[in-house]
Each structure stands twice: as C-alpha cells, then as structure tokens.
Amino acid sequence: MTSRLVLAMSLLCLWSAPAGAQDRAVAVTFDDLPYQAAEAVLCDPAQAMALTADFVAMLRPLDTRAAVFVNEGKVCEAQRAELLPALLNVWLEAGLDMGNHTFSHINIHRNTVGAYLADVDDGAPVTRSVLEARGRPLVFFRHPYLFTGETPEKKAAIAAGLAERGYTIAPVTIDNNDWMFAAVYRQAEGSGDAALKVRIGDAYVAHMTAVLDHWEPYSAELTGGREPAQVLLLHANSLNRDWYPQIHALYLARGYRFVTLGEALADPVYAHGDDYVRANGVSWLHRWTFTDGRPIRWEPDPPAWIVAAYEAVN
C-alpha cells in the first residue's frame, strides 16, 4: 500500500466521521521490538534494518504518535552493541516514544520477583542510552503478556520494584489477538501464499472491528457514559506492516484522534484501582470492571479457522 493511498484513505475516513460523534482518542503501542521475527533474521544487520525501515516507512505518513516497547534480548549478543542502537534510532527518528518491555519477554508466572526485576533492568541499558542521547528519559514499562503477578504478594512486589525504578506502567485497554493472526500470516508469507495472506489480513481487520464494537461501550460503563482515552496494543510484525494502515483508517472512521501514550494516561480513568489477580493477562478495562465488583464481559475471539491455524503453527 503506497503512502499516497494511505493518506487518501485516512482523509476519506476523517471526512466521513459522523458529525457530533463523541470525541474519541487512542494511543497506539507496538510491542516486541525490534520485531517479531526469527532470531537469525534479527541478528542479520541487513535483514533486521530492512524490516525496521519498512515498518517505520509505513507509519510515517499516518502520524500515529505511537509508543514502542523493546525486548533488548531479541538481538543476539554478538550484534547487540552495534545493531540494536541503530535499529532503535530508526524508530526514534520517526518521532515515536519508546519504553522497556524487559530483556527476554520474561513470564512472571514461571519466575521469581527477583528474576523478573533483573530482566527489567537488563532490558533498559540500550533503550535508555538512545533516549538520553536525544535528551529524553526512559519512562514507560509494559508487562510481557500483560501478566502483572498471579498472587497479591507477587503483584505488589513487582509494582513496588517498578515504582522504585521510576517507571510509568503502560496499561492496555484495547487488547486483541493480533499476535495470533501474525503467526499465521508469517507462515503464509514463508510459503509465498499471497491469497492466504489477503484472507488473513481481511479477517484481521474484521476482528479488530468486532473488538472495537465490544470495547467502546464496555469502557463507557466505567466512566458514566464517556469513552475514556484508549490504549491499543499491537506488535511489530509483518502483519501490521502490511495491514496496520487499514486499522488506522478504521479508527479514523470511528472518530478517533491519535494521541501520545502520555496524553492518553492523563485521562482520569487510569487512576482507577486494580484488584485483579489472576494467572493471565487481560485489558485494564477488565481489571477495573472486576475491581468495581461487576462481571467481566470478554472480548470476541478470532475466527475459529485462525485459532486452528495458529495451534497448528505452534
């Protein structure tokens, strides 16, 4: 999809937004930088840079004002010192914000609090360095898998450790299964099945529409009818490289403004308490709903054929 076509789609959607529609805002975030790709690809400077440059080139004309979250361990140790800063600077040069997503995308449910916080620390040096070189601090942290701890004690200890390190947590309100579509998409890409890629992409856009149909009214229940500023979770992968422009256009058509993560977190809803403790990762809208003593209503699942294809891949 060319930049001109993307801009035309975006303008068309903006002009077609219904008059008098509720003011909606969304902060877009992309996890798992440098990229969801095989280790061999991310340790090859030419391939890793090409993936990064193509993704950022897709984003540039859209003005997403996105924030991106880094797993520094995705780049092999032999290449990390030189390649990782070069990759991260491509994102920063596009005007995006950047946060820590741990070194190894660690699973807190399988590790101690000490090991988890050590992985948080190991995930910061290069990210902090490239930010500070531009006069910007490392502020944001995103929990891998959206796991915050499966017991009250573990959750509290992690939260305290992150606070001591000065992090602002990057919550998610619009969760979805883009990672599932992406895994199936990578398989189709690897086999050269262009028709299947289109089918997966079309199903992805339809799923993201259904997800919005769920989250919008659900979020308004927390705020007396006003939809709060949303935080959308996506991932840096080939699916979103090819199909995010249609997701962007979808949001424009529904009257959303694209804001920074910091602007979204200024919405009062993000001061809501969170008493949710489970061995899974869920939207903060579910966490707040649970805390208020109301029943959680789960978001739509992907189509059954995508779920089956994902399970076959994995």
Q: What is the CATH number of the domain that holds 40?
A: 3.20.20.370
How far, in Å, CA of 253 to CA of 242, rounded? 19
* Residue of 202, 142, 138, 198 lying closest to 170 (CA atoms): 142
Domain that holds residue 284: 21-313
Strand, helix or coil at 143? coil
Measuring CA to CA, how many Å separate 77 from each of 57, 102, 117, 228? 27, 15, 20, 41
Please check whether residue 164 lies inside any domain of the structure: yes
Please check whether residue 6 lies inside any domain of the structure: no
φ and ψ of 293, to 5 deg:
80, 20
Please check whether residue 5 lies inside any domain of the structure: no
Please check whether residue 308 lies inside any domain of the structure: yes
pLDDT attached to residue 12: 41
Please check whether residue 13 lies inside any domain of the structure: no
Q: The tokens of 301 are what?
A: 């699942």
How far, in Å, CA of 229 to CA of 268, rounded? 9
- Helices in 60-167 by DSSP H: which ranges? 77-93, 113-122, 125-132, 152-164
Cis peptide before 34 (omega within 30 of 0): yes
- Helices in 17-151 by DSSP H: which ranges? 39-42, 45-59, 77-93, 113-122, 125-132
Please check whether residue 4 lies inside any domain of the structure: no
Please check whether residue 159 lies inside any domain of the structure: yes
- pLDDT, tens digit only, all 314 positions of the chain: 444 344 434 434 443 444 345 789 999 999 999 999 999 999 999 999 999 999 999 999 999 999 999 999 999 999 999 999 999 999 999 999 999 999 999 999 999 999 999 999 999 999 999 999 999 999 999 999 999 999 999 999 999 999 999 999 999 999 999 999 999 999 999 999 999 999 999 999 999 999 999 999 999 999 999 999 999 999 999 999 999 999 999 999 999 999 999 999 999 999 999 999 999 999 999 999 999 999 999 999 999 999 999 999 98
Counted domains in the chain: 1
Please check whether residue 54 lies inside any domain of the structure: yes
283 contacts 214 by C-beta, under 8 angstroms:
no
Show Cβ contacts of residue 74 under 8 Å, excluding neighbours closer than 6 positions.
32, 33, 34, 35, 39, 42
pTM value is: 0.93
* Residue of 82, 87, 61, 48 lying closest to 6 (CA atoms): 61
183 contacts 314 by C-beta, under 8 angstroms:
yes
